[in-house]
Amino acid sequence: MEQRGGTILAVEHLTMRFGGLLAVQDLSFSVERGQITALIGPNGAGKTTVFNCITGFYRPTQGRIALTNGTPLSRPLLDRLTGSSLRHLREGTNEVFLLERMAGHEITAKAHVARTFQNIRLFSGMTCLENLLVAQHNALTRASGYSVLGLIGAPSWRAAEARSIERASAWLERIGLIGRADDPAGDLPYGDQRRLEIARAMLTDPVLLCLDEPAAGLNPRESAALSALLRTIRDADGVSILLIEHDMSVVMEISDHIVVLEYGLKISDGSPESVRDDPKVIAAYLGVDDAEVAGAEAELDATVAGRST
Amino acid sequence: MRDARNKPLASGRPATIAAFKDAALVGLATLGLGFPILAYRTEQNISNQLIIEPRWALAFSFAGLAFALRLAWLMTSAGRSSIPTWSMPVLSKRAGDTISRAGLGILLAYPFLALWITGPGGAIKWIDNFGIQILIYVMLGWGLNIVVGLAGLLDLGYVAFYAVGAYTTALLSTHFGLSFWLCLPLAGMFAALWGVLLGFPVLRLRGDYLAIVTLAFGEIIRLVLINWVDVTGGYAGISSIPRPTFFGIPFNATETGFAATFGLEFTPLHRLFFLFYLILALALLTNWVTIRLRRLPIGRAWEALREDEIAAKALGIDTVITKLTAFAIGAMFGGFAGAFIAARQAFISPEMFVFMESAVILAIVVLGGMGSQIGVAIAAIVMVGGTELLRELDWLKAIFGKDFDPTQYRMLLFGLAMVAIMIWKPRGLISNREPTIALGAKKSISSSLVREGHG
Ligand SMILES: Nc1ncnc2c1ncn2[C@@H]1O[C@H](COP(=O)(O)OP(=O)(O)OP(=O)(O)O)[C@@H](O)[C@H]1O
Ligand SMILES: [Mg+2]
Number of domains in chain B: 2
DSSP bridge partners of A32: A7
State the Cα–Cα distance between residues A88 and A101, nearest whole angstrom: 9
Residue A118 CA: nearest ligand 1 atom is: 27
**Does residue A221 contact residue A127 with C-beta atoms inside 8 Å?**
no
Nearest alpha-carbon partner for A230 in A195, A188, A200: A195
**Does residue B443 contact residue A181 with C-beta atoms inside 8 Å?**
no
Q: What angle do CA A32, A118, A287 make, to 5 degrees?
A: 80
**Does residue B328 contact residue B143 with C-beta atoms inside 8 Å?**
no
ipTM of the complex: 0.87
Residue B9's pLDDT is 39
Residue of chain A minimizing CA distance to B306? A123
Instruction: Let me know if residue A309 belongs to a domain.
Output: no
Q: What is the mean pLDDT of chain B?
A: 81
Q: How many CB atoms lie within 10 A of CB B125?
A: 15
Residue B383's pLDDT is 84
Residue A200's pLDDT is 95
Q: What is the CA radius of gyration of chain B?
A: 25
State the Cα–Cα distance between residues A134 and A148, nearest whole angstrom: 18
Q: Are strands A265-270 and A257-262 parallel, antiparallel or unpaired?
A: antiparallel
Do residue B43 and residue B190 come from a single domain? no
Give the model confidence (pLDDT) of B132-183 as tens digits: 989 999 999 999 999 999 998 888 989 999 999 999 999 999 888 888 889 9
Number of domains in chain A: 2
Do residue B53 and residue B169 come from a single domain? no
Residue B86's pLDDT is 42
Residue A291's pLDDT is 57
Residue of the nearest CA to atom 7 in ligand 1?
A18
Ligand 2 centroid, distance to B158 Cα (angstroms): 41
A123–B304 C-beta distance less than 8 A: yes
Give the domain extent around A32. 7-111+207-277
Section B211-237 average pLDDT: 88
Q: Quick one: how far is CA B284 from the chain centroid?
A: 14
Q: Is B438 on the interface with A (CB under 8 A)?
A: yes
Residue A198's pLDDT is 95
Instruction: Let me know if residue B441 belongs to a domain.
Output: no
Do residue A187 and residue A215 come from a single domain? no
| Residue B2: pLDDT band with limits 50, 70, 90 | very low
* Interface mutation vs chain B, best among A132, A133, A134, most B CBs within 10 Å: A134
Do residue B190 and residue B289 come from a single domain? yes
**Does residue B132 contact residue B344 with C-beta atoms inside 8 Å?**
yes
Q: What is the DSSP string of A54-70?
A: HTTSS--SEEEEEEEES
Residue B5's pLDDT is 39
| AA letter at A113 | V
State the Cα–Cα distance between residues A112 and A209, nearest whole angstrom: 9
Q: Are strands A62-69 and A7-18 parallel, antiparallel or unpaired?
A: antiparallel
| Residue B4: pLDDT band with limits 50, 70, 90 | very low
State the Cα–Cα distance between residues B180 and A8, nearest whole angstrom: 60
Instruction: Let me know if residue B351 belongs to a domain.
Output: yes
* Interface mutation vs chain A, best among B285, B287, B290, B300, most A CBs within 10 Å: B300
State the Cα–Cα distance between residues A41 and A47, nearest whole angstrom: 7
Determine the distance in angstroms separating the CA of B288 from the nearest CA of chain A, rounded to an integer. Answer: 10
Give the model confidence (pLDDT) of B315-347 as tens digits: 999 999 999 999 999 999 999 999 999 988 888
State the Cα–Cα distance between residues B70 and B12, nearest whole angstrom: 18
Count of CB pairs separated by less than 8 Å, A with B: 131
The angle that helices B93-125 and B269-294 make with each other, rounded to 10 degrees, is 160
In percent, how much of chain B has pLDDT > 70?
A: 87
Q: Quick one: how far is CA A167 from the chain centroid?
A: 22
Which ligand lies nearest the alpha carbon of A265? 1
Residue B372's pLDDT is 84
Residue B405's pLDDT is 72
Instruction: Let me know if residue A305 belongs to a domain.
Output: no
Q: How many CB atoms lie within 10 A of CB B65?
A: 12
Stretches in chain A below the pLDDT threshold 70: 1-5, 70, 286-309
Q: Quick one: how far is CA B207 from the chain centroid?
A: 23
Do residue A104 and residue A229 come from a single domain? yes
Give the domain extent around B61. 13-80
State the Cα–Cα distance between residues B452 and A163, nearest whole angstrom: 31
- CATH number of the domain residue A12 falls in: 3.40.50.300
Residue A70's pLDDT is 66
Residue A46 CA: nearest ligand 1 atom is: 18
Instruction: Let me know if residue A27 belongs to a domain.
Output: yes
Q: Which chain B residues are closer than 8 Å to A55 by Cβ?
A: 314
Instruction: Let me know if residue A228 belongs to a domain.
Output: yes
A285 phi, psi to nearest 5 deg: -80, -30
Give the model confidence (pLDDT) of B366-404 as tens digits: 888 877 888 899 889 888 887 777 777 666 666 777 777
Ligand 2 centroid, distance to B146 Cα (angstroms): 35
Residue B341's pLDDT is 93
Cβ-Cβ contacts under 8 Å for A290 (sequence gap 6 or more): none
State the Cα–Cα distance between residues B113 and B107, nearest whole angstrom: 10
| Residue B1: pLDDT band with limits 50, 70, 90 | very low
Q: What is the CA radius of gyration of chain A?
A: 22
Residue A307's pLDDT is 57
Identify the weakest region by mean pLDDT among A93-97, B14-18, B244-248. B14-18
**Distance, first Cα to last Cα, chain B:** 44
| Residue B89: pLDDT band with limits 50, 70, 90 | very low
Instruction: Let me know if residue B106 belongs to a domain.
Output: no
Do residue B65 and residue B136 come from a single domain? no
Question: Among A204, A219, A235, which residue terminates a domain?
Answer: A204
Do residue A262 and residue A142 come from a single domain? no
